[in-house]
Structure 1
Amino acid sequence: MSSVLPLSEVVRVNEIGTALDRTLEPDAGSRAKIARSLDLASLDAFTATLTIKPARVGWTLSGRVVAEAVQTCGLTLEPLPVSIDQVFSLDLVEAAEPVAGEEVEITLDDDSPDIIEDGRIDLGQYAVEQLALTLDPFPRKPGAEFVQPAEPADISPFAVLKAFRETDTADKG
Structure 2
Amino acid sequence: MAEGVINPWPYSVTLGRMGRGMDLRFEPDEAARKAIAKTLNLVSLDSLDAEIFLRPWMDGAEVSGLIRARVTQVCSVSADEFEEPVESRFSVRVLPADSENTSPDENGDLALDPEGDDPPDVLEGETIDVSGYVIEHLALELDPFPRKPGAVFEAPPEPVELSPFAALKALKADPDPSGDGA
TM-score after normalising by structure 2: 0.76
**Corresponding position: 1:151 with 2:158:** yes
1:80 paired with 2:82, answer yes
- What code does the residue aligned with 2:53 have? T
Shift >3 Å, 4+ stretches: 105-110, 154-166
Q: Alpha-carbon deviations, 1:126-171, whole Å to 9, x = none?
A: 01111101111111112211111111233455555666899xxx9x
Greater relative contact order structure (CA < 8 Å, 6+ sep): 1
Secondary structure of 2:62's aligned partner:
strand
**What's the C-alpha RMSD, in Å, of the aligned pairs?**
2.9
Give aligned-pair identity as a percent: 38
**1:133 equivalent among 121, 127, 140:** 140
Identify the residue that residue 108 of structure 2 maps to in structure 1. 104
The aligned length equals 162
Structure 2: runs of 5+ lacking an equivalent:
1-8, 101-105, 178-182
Q: Is it true that 1:93 corresponds to 2:95 in the alignment? A: yes
1:52 Cα deviation after fit? 0.9
In the aligned structure 2, how far is the partner of 1:56 from the partner of 1:123?
18
Aligned equivalent of 2:5: none
Q: 1:57 to 1:14 in 2, by over 3 A?
A: closer
1:56 CA displacement: 3.1
| Conserved? CA contact 2:26–2:51, under 8 Å | yes
Deviation at 1:77, TM superposition (A): 1.2
For normalisation by structure 1, the TM-score amounts to 0.80
Superposition map of 1:21-170 within 5 A = 21-96=23-98, 103-107=107-111, 111-156=118-163, 158-159=165-166
1:28-80 deviations in whole A, cap 9, x for unaligned? 00000001111111111101111111113521111010111111111111111
Contact kept? 2:54, 2:63, Cα under 8 Å: yes
